[in-house]
Chains A and B, each alone.
Chain A
């Protein structure tokens, strides 16, 4: 089986002279559930913005041999790179089914858009099952719980046929039970996707991360398994301050 991967080289984003992402190299393989961590303002969201076309950047970000930088948002999405936002951004006035159907439809022929949906597309059905939203099919997204909205977002990425998934803090504000379900969902998804999860929560990280990249002040500080990263004194320093021994398991912000 072919293995997809995302390759970022020398990525740099600056806002009016302030460098938010400063020469980041990052390679993520399919099947590897990668977590991107770092203190607030480290540049995690900006990195995702740059790769998905929302922030202008220099350097290179390639997926499947295609250069992503410089393309428009919808072209990058069509190239197979999808993302969620830090604040859930589903279409509140539309139902779960409608949300997923739209996500699945960017390649539909123009003419077919003028007709109503006759049947539920297979990919949408599958995504509802994967994310556990089948019973909520006809509910407006506005009525979903916070966790359910995040799952709907992930479901939208799945039907969108994205191969690279960027999830920006998907479990923030979730209950313990919802976190666990999300973690299991990510495990299922990682098999055939390149998944990058931006996350703060150490507990969640420890339970589900295959590998971790630590970002600080726009630079990659460390990379490796959870254990390796945890043992790195520089990582301990930014998370717990100088002189501390061993990171705790509380959520760090």
Chain B
């Protein structure tokens, strides 16, 4: 929508501005500590960019992105621990005597580690997505299912004390692909990598949104049945966005590990999964920049507030979410449209929309036509 009026110059200017802020102003103005914090927020924002695509454009309320974030993070953490341990070595936390599991060994090589960070979550999202979308599970059911997967994933990690660090998680990384993490220059490089990756992700989503695929995804969100009768298989359309969102979350998780220095089940369960979503909802899930800006703002507010009132923030976060969903379902990014709509109403152009609350896409994808046969046939295959 936003691209329709925006000329190329405006778009290029936007990216230029982002680059100037992230690559010029922020490193010049912020202390090392603040810059590290910003880098952490950028990683979380990567998850948000993916959610913006899957949820905002595609109507899939992805309440379990912690799974993919966690997969990327843990694979990276395993690789970093193994490279700290040196050739043939084993991570320090493991009880001596027990063998190193084969799936640790997979990620000793830097190439397979990077491939794993992208490939494992992508494959999981593909299988999960096809299974779920082919069976026409959607709306709240999809949301609950994805949330349950995050809960199960966190429990699984906690139960694996000796192989994956249990509830302590993995920490104490000394180097990142050969660069010492104690060196401030290398930490700054990590920040630049995160900034560059985030901008690239926004650009990918930008292109997807303006492509024919993006229009199709929106069509599936608003009328999955109708798309089916046009000769498309909506499951394939949805699963692509779902996989992209999963990969973005995993990359965010993978960069989070060397930047923050620890990954534990606390970062991947239900609560962080919902946390990823709040910024997207607040910023405006159906807009290009709403998710990334909303996520950064919520992260910033969270860290500022929880420095002083740790316990208050979690409630405040919940309240913010409820308020946005109740009163501004399109998020802050939709505010312009809402106000414009108000102004236009007296003229009667909007007609049918009157009294139905602010315009915007439905919270989740549609429940199908009035007589959708949500019956036995779906569960067959």
Say yes or no for B228: interface residue by CB 8 A criterion. yes
Residue of A56, A77, A99 touching B228 (CB-CB under 8 A): A77
Tell me which residues from 205 to 251 in chain B have a Cβ below 8 Å from any Cβ of chain A. Answer: 207-208, 210-213, 215-216, 218-219, 222-223, 225-233
Say yes or no for B119: interface residue by CB 8 A criterion. no
Say yes or no for B340: interface residue by CB 8 A criterion. no
Contacts of A114 on B, CB cut-off 8 Å? 207-208, 211-213
Residue of B216, B219, B229, B350 touching A73 (CB-CB under 8 A): B229
**If A77-B231, A85-B369, A160-B230 touch, does A94 touch B219 (CB 8 Å cutoff)?**
yes
Closest Cβ–Cβ distance, residue B357 to chain A (whole Å) = 14
**If A74-B231, A160-B230 touch, does A91 touch B212 (CB 8 Å cutoff)?**
no
Whether the Cβ atoms of A91 and B232 lie closer than 8 Å is no
Whether the Cβ atoms of A89 and B225 lie closer than 8 Å is yes
B236's closest neighbor in chain A, by CB?
A: A110
**If A89-B369, A143-B349 touch, does A115 touch B211 (CB 8 Å cutoff)?**
yes
Contacts of B230 on A, CB cut-off 8 Å? 74, 77, 82, 102-103, 106, 156, 160
Q: How far is the CA of A173 from the CA of B222 in the complex (A)?
A: 23
Q: How far is the CA of A87 from the CA of B371 in the complex (A)?
A: 11
Residue of B223, B229, B373 touching A55 (CB-CB under 8 A): B373
Say yes or no for A92: interface residue by CB 8 A criterion. yes
Say yes or no for A188: interface residue by CB 8 A criterion. no
Count of A residues near B, CB < 8 Å? 40
Say yes or no for B377: interface residue by CB 8 A criterion. yes
**If A91-B222, A102-B216, A116-B210 touch, does A74 touch B228 (CB 8 Å cutoff)?**
yes
B360's closest neighbor in chain A, by CB?
A: A93
Residue of A101, A156, A160 touching B215 (CB-CB under 8 A): A101
**If A55-B373, A102-B219, A106-B231 touch, does A113 touch B226 (CB 8 Å cutoff)?**
no
Contacts of B218 on A, CB cut-off 8 Å? 91, 93-94
Say yes or no for B307: interface residue by CB 8 A criterion. no
Contacts of A102 on B, CB cut-off 8 Å? 212, 215-216, 219, 227, 230
**If A89-B369, A94-B218 touch, does A117 touch B212 (CB 8 Å cutoff)?**
yes
Contacts of B361 on A, CB cut-off 8 Å? 93
Contacts of A72 on B, CB cut-off 8 Å? 228, 233
Say yes or no for B370: interface residue by CB 8 A criterion. yes
Whether the Cβ atoms of B353 and A108 lie closer than 8 Å is no
Closest Cβ–Cβ distance, residue B208 to chain A (whole Å) = 7
Whether the Cβ atoms of B222 and A107 lie closer than 8 Å is no
**If A85-B369, A113-B212, A114-B208 touch, does A91 touch B219 (CB 8 Å cutoff)?**
yes
Q: How far is the CA of A36 from the CA of B55 in the complex (A)?
A: 41
Whether the Cβ atoms of B212 and A105 lie closer than 8 Å is yes
**If A87-B370, A93-B218 touch, does A113 touch B211 (CB 8 Å cutoff)?**
yes
Q: How far is the CA of A143 from the CA of B232 in the complex (A)?
A: 25
Q: Chain B interface: which size bin?
A: 20 to 34
Q: How far is the CA of A250 from the CA of B193 in the complex (A)?
A: 72
Say yes or no for A142: interface residue by CB 8 A criterion. yes
Most A C-beta atoms less than 10 A away, residue of B227, B230, B232, B361: B230
Whether the Cβ atoms of B226 and A91 lie closer than 8 Å is yes
Residue of B229, B231, B351 touching A107 (CB-CB under 8 A): B231
A114's closest neighbor in chain B, by CB?
A: B211
Q: How far is the CA of A52 from the CA of B373 in the complex (A)?
A: 13
Say yes or no for A190: interface residue by CB 8 A criterion. no
Whether the Cβ atoms of B212 and A93 lie closer than 8 Å is no
Contacts of B350 on A, CB cut-off 8 Å? 143
Closest Cβ–Cβ distance, residue B76 to chain A (whole Å) = 28
**If A55-B373, A94-B218, A102-B230 touch, does A89 touch B223 (CB 8 Å cutoff)?**
yes
Residue of A87, A93, A113 touching B216 (CB-CB under 8 A): A113
Most B C-beta atoms less than 10 A away, residue of A56, A91, A112: A91
Contacts of B216 on A, CB cut-off 8 Å? 102, 105, 113
Closest Cβ–Cβ distance, residue A138 to chain B (whole Å) = 8
Residue of B213, B215, B227 touching A98 (CB-CB under 8 A): B215
A 218-249 to B, binary, CB cutoff 8 A, 1 in contact else 0: 00000000000000000000000000000000
Q: How far is the CA of A45 from the CA of B207 in the complex (A)?
A: 40
Closest Cβ–Cβ distance, residue B342 to chain A (whole Å) = 16
Tell me which residues from 339 to 377 in chain B have a Cβ below 8 Å from any Cβ of chain A. Answer: 349-353, 361, 369-371, 373, 377
Whether the Cβ atoms of B231 and A116 lie closer than 8 Å is no
Closest Cβ–Cβ distance, residue A165 to chain B (whole Å) = 12
Residue of A82, A93, A101 touching B229 (CB-CB under 8 A): A82
Tell me which residues from 231 to 281 in chain B have a Cβ below 8 Å from any Cβ of chain A. Answer: 231-233
Closest Cβ–Cβ distance, residue A117 to chain B (whole Å) = 6
Q: How far is the CA of A116 from the CA of B215 in the complex (A)?
A: 9
Contacts of A117 on B, CB cut-off 8 Å? 212
A89's closest neighbor in chain B, by CB?
A: B226
Contacts of A94 on B, CB cut-off 8 Å? 215, 218-219, 222
Interface CB pairs A-B, < 8 A, 10? A54-B371, A74-B231, A85-B226, A87-B370, A89-B369, A91-B218, A102-B219, A114-B212, A117-B212, A156-B230
Binding site for B on A (CB under 8 A): 45, 49, 52, 54-56, 72-74, 77-78, 82-83, 85, 87, 89-94, 98-99, 101-103, 105-108, 112-117, 142-143, 156, 160
